[in-house]
């Protein structure tokens, strides 16, 4: 990882979408890695905290809302961006996680994500 390169962990159980996000983030200068479930992400993110965490709300093993809450408690400096295609889940995320967590509706384009990570 180059000096100043921001590390982003993408947690998305849809493999093709996860790969698309990883490629877009890498092309934008981020050091991006990805996982498909919340439990693995929690372990990874607490052992080596990323600068930002992009996560789907509906993921196996540990849902995205719980994972975000764990990260807020253990790694408060990690920027969190949650994403969901369901309006009610996006509202729940805003209510449970507070105004510091960015919420993206699916589908979104890379520019929208990059604006939330800035």
* pLDDT above 70 for 1: no
- pLDDT band at residue 4 under the 50/70/90 scheme: low
pTM of the entire predicted model: 0.92
d(CA 73, CA 54): 16
What residue spans define the domains of the chain?
7-117
The 10s digit of each residue's pLDDT in 10-63 is: 999 999 999 999 999 999 999 999 999 999 999 999 899 999 999 999 999 999
* pLDDT above 60 for 99: yes
For the domain spanning 7-117, the CATH number is: 3.40.50.2300
> Which residues does 92 contact at the CB level (< 8 Å), separation at least 6?
57, 65
């Amino acid at each position: 990882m180059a000096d100043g390169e921001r590390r982003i962990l993408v947690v998305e159980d849809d493999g093709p979408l996860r790969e698309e996000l990883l490629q877009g983030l890498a092309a934008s200068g981020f050091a991006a890695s990805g996982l498909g479930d919340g439990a693995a992400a929690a372990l990874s993110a607490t052992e080596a905290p990323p600068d930002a965490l992009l996560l789907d709300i509906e993921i196996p093993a540990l849902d995205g809302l719980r994972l975000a809450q764990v990260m807020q408690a253990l790694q408060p400096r990690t920027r969190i961006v949650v994403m969901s295609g369901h309006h009610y889940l996006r509202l729940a995320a805003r209510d449970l996680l507070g105004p510091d967590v960015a919420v993206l509706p699916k589908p979104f384009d890379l520019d929208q994500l990059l604006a939330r990570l800035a």
